[in-house]
Structure 1
Amino acid sequence: MSKFEILDCLLQENNGFLKTSDATKAGISRTYLGEYVRDRGLARVTQGLYMAQDAWDDGMYVIQVRYPEAIFSHETALYLLKLANREPLQYTVTLKTGANSAGLTKQGIKVYKVKDTLFEKGITEAQSPAGHTLRVYNPERTICDLFRSRRNIEIQDLQTAVKEYVRLKNKNIPLLMRYAKSFSVEKTVRQYLGVLL
């Protein structure tokens, strides 16, 4: 297989996007990658990420490539987990306390921060609308995040999310309550569930 064919495969596997890191892992030099990018007419989306002309734009995937430490959370997680009926107007991510969020904030992304001990709880994966795998918090963690941030969340979004969660076949109420305790929202979550269950 030629280097061009290897890069074609990488581009196809990643739904029209090509990361420099993936090309170098495949043993292709940056010089050769540059030739490929010019020859195929790829557009540079951000540092280390190129996109084919016929690829769907995927803002969430670009955010994840640029900020790999960010986890999609809150309203964006609801949407990715199919617990919301509309795409959020503003993407939402969570970072560890102390992480630099200036670049994300400048792009209009809502950033929440949480201490290291809580950051890793509930990380899972979901597909973006364009088919890329993204890091996102699971439904149980997302419900707890919404309750923690309820002053900044539309009450209707919170109520819809909890109702949709209760309808899930694979919901995990014991896990939800463990998270609720860790995030100090156990009483509120219990009250909401008492009405819906």
Structure 2
Amino acid sequence: MTSAETLNKLLQENNGYLKTSDAVAAGVSRTVLGDFVCKYGLERVAHGLYMSQDVWEDGLYVIQVRYPEAVFSHETALYLLNLANREPSPFSVTFKTGKNSAGLSKQGIKVYKVKEELFGEGIVEVRSPSGHTVRAYNAERTICDLFRSRRHIEIQDLQEGVKTYIRLKEKNIPLLLRYAKAFSVEKTVRQYLEVLL
């Protein structure tokens, strides 16, 4: 397989996106990659990430590539988990406390911080609407995040998210209550559940 064939295959497998790291891992030199990018008119959308001209930009995927330690949370996680019916604007991400996220804040993205011991709770891989794999929090963690940040969340987003979650067949109420306790929102979550269940 030629380098061009390898790069075309990577482009197809990744829905029109090409990462420098993937190309290098596949044995393609940066020089050959640069020539390929120029020849086929790929657009540089982030450091080490190129996009074909014939695909829609996937803002969620671009954020995930640029900030691999970020996890989509709050309204954005609701949307990715099909617990919200509209795409959030702006997107929301969570980082460990102490991580520099000034670049995202400047782009108008909502950034939340959480202690390291709670950061990893409930991370799952989900598909963006364009078919790329991104990291988000699971439904139970997301509901707790919404309650924790309810002063910064539109009340209808919180209520709709909780109601949609309650209707899920695969909801996990014991896990929700465990997270609620860990995130100090157990009383509020229990009050909501008493009304809705």
Partner in structure 1 of residue 169 of structure 2: 169
State the Cα distance separating 1:40 from its structure 2 match. 1.2
TM-score (norm 2): 0.99
Residue 41 (structure 1) shift: 1.1
Counterpart Cα distance in 2 of 1:26 and 1:147 = 44
SS in 2 for 1:163: helix
- Count of residues paired in the alignment: 197
Quote how far apart the aligned CAs of 1:189 are: 0.4
Share of identical aligned residues, percent? 74
Rounded to whole Å, the distance in 1 between the matches of 2:89 and 2:148 is: 20
Partner of 1:104: 104
Tell me by how many angstroms 1:101 deviates.
Answer: 1.1
Shift of 1:125: 1.2
2:90 aligned residue: 90
- For residues 18 and 190 of structure 1, the distance between their equivalents in structure 2, rounded to whole angstroms, comes to 46
Listed as ranges, the matches of 1:23-102 within 5 Å are 23-102=23-102
Q: Separation in 1 of the partners of 2:34 and 2:154? A: 46
Pair 1:155 & 2:155 matched? yes
RMSD between aligned residues = 0.6
Q: Deviations for 1:40-90, whole angstroms, at most 9, x for unmatched residues?
A: 111111110000000111011000000111100000000100101111110
Report the Cα offset of residue 39 of structure 1: 1.2
- Bigger drift between 110-119 and 34-43 goes to 34-43
Distance 1:25 1:81 in 2: 31
Q: CA deviation at 1:97?
A: 0.3
Q: Secondary structure at the match of 1:7?
A: helix
Give 1:123's aligned residue.
Answer: 123
Give the match's secondary structure for 1:24: helix
**1:110, CA displacement in angstroms?**
0.3
Structure 1 residue ranges, 4+ long, deviating more than 6 angstroms after superposition: none
CA distance, structure 2, for counterparts of residue 43 and residue 57 of structure 1: 10
Aligned equivalent of 1:144? 144
Cα separation, 2, equivalents of 1:45 and 1:89: 20
Aligned position for 2:7: 7
TM-score normalised over the length of structure 1: 0.99
C-alpha offsets along residues 21-40 of structure 1, whole Å, 9 cap, x if unaligned?
00001011100100111111
Consecutive unaligned residues of structure 1, counting only runs of 5 or more, are none
Matched letter for residue 81 of structure 1: L
2: distance between equivalents of 1:184 and 1:96?
18
Distance 1:47 1:160 in 2: 37
